[in-house]
Amino acid sequence: MPFSYRFLWLLFPSLVWLNSCSDQDDLFSLSLDQNKNLPVVATVGKQVILDSEVDAELQYMPSSLQQQSQMPEIRHRVEEILIRRAVLSQQAVAQGLDLEPDVATSIHEARDNILIDALKSRHLNQMSVPDQAALKTYYDSHRDDFAIPEQIHAAHILLLNKKEADRVYDLLKHKPALFSKLAIKESLDDSNNTRGGDLNWFPRGVMAEAFEQVAFAMKDKGQISKPVQTKSGWHIIVLKGRKAGRMQSFADAQEEIVHVLQHQALEQWINKLVAQANVHRKKKPAFNDPIELPHGLHTPLSNLQKSSVSKGTVNSEREVTMDKYAKTAPMHDDYSSASPLGNAH
């Protein structure tokens, strides 16, 4: 299949330079001498671009396109992108932009974040896996966290007014098989109309109340509802499937529990490092007890769950307590795409 070069610009994140210094040949360049034994695809001044850097960039391509990653024209295009980055970065340094306060601060923050992620990744990788007794103890003491709620799989067609909704509903009463085609043609919900209005699986509490009352009341697969009104408009709903609520088994939950316990241990290790650090505040806080901050701010090294260093996977059907402060967002198949129907409406 043809490959769009424009897509490459969306695949590859910008390189982050880690140090601020006007002497770019010393700190922004990999010298030719240092890399004389490595395959080099290009040089920009004294900076070299290695074949391994091209390979690393190609790893960002979606899995569906990985087979095309070794095509000569694709690799050549990636080389051009890396050359362009090097030229522009060197020009920025030549103009002294790395010394401007805002830029220097951003470079410093990027450097800290990369080092922090690397540190957390190394510590997680060096951790031993909790034994079965510890996993079972956690499972037994957090059974409510492993309750998977009832879910339904539904699709909908969103119309502007009742007249339009009645017109489409009359068509569906005689030809229910046309639901997907009519959703593509008629639905105003751009987040899913190209998928035939498919909302995927979702539990209660995700959609607008009026929508949920109708959707969860339907019993038979393929059943189509009469038009129902929410603040988003008028909906016609089709039931595509139902999953009863259940408890996730210990066997299925083990990988997830390992993830939780290791991140709890990581948090404890971070707190210990901070407590032992040689820190001298210029001004002591005027309060005794720490203020509980929103999730992501309760630790100096935030975003433990979002970090690329996470080990294990979160079950896709339910919420999981990641630490004692907060829960992750439920990661059901794709019901977040149904935001126009959310509780705010």
Question: Which CATH number does the domain housing residue 219 bear?
Answer: 3.10.50.40
Residue 10 lies in a domain: yes
Q: Parallel, antiparallel, or unpaired: how do β-strands 151-159 and 198-203 relate?
A: antiparallel
Which amino acid is present at 334?
Answer: D
Is the distance from CB of 263 to CB of 304 less than 8 angstroms? yes
- Structural domain count of the chain: 2
**Does residue 31 carry a pLDDT above 80?**
no
Residue 252 lies in a domain: no
Residue 183 lies in a domain: yes
pLDDT tens, 295-335?
444 433 333 333 333 333 333 343 322 332 233 333 333 33
In a 13 Å sphere around the CA of 106, the CA atoms on its Cβ side amount to 9
Same domain for 162 and 90: no
Q: Which domain holds residue 47?
A: 5-99
Q: For residue 62, what pLDDT band results from cuts at 50, 70 and 90?
A: confident
Is the distance from CB of 331 to CB of 195 less than 8 angstroms? no
Long-range contacts of 79-84 (CB under 8 A, 24+ apart): 79/41, 79/42, 79/49, 79/54, 81/8, 81/9, 81/12, 81/57, 82/42, 82/49, 82/53, 82/54, 82/57, 83/42, 83/44, 83/49
Residue where a domain stops, chosen among 99, 117, 132: 99
Residue 191 lies in a domain: yes
89 vs 105: CA distance, rounded Å: 16
Task: Give 254-297 as a DSSP string.
Answer: HHHHHHHHHHHHHHHHHHHHHHHS----SS--S-SSPPPPPTTS
pLDDT tens, 181-197?
999 999 999 999 999 99
Residue 293 lies in a domain: no
Same domain for 94 and 178: no
Residue where a domain stops, chosen among 99, 127, 160: 99
Highest mean pLDDT, choosing among 5-19, 48-62, 260-274: 260-274
Same domain for 159 and 73: no
Residue where a domain stops, chosen among 246, 262, 289: 246
Residue 308 lies in a domain: no
Residue 301 lies in a domain: no
Same domain for 11 and 76: yes
Signed CA dihedral, 271, 275, 280, 284: sign only: positive
Residue 214 lies in a domain: yes
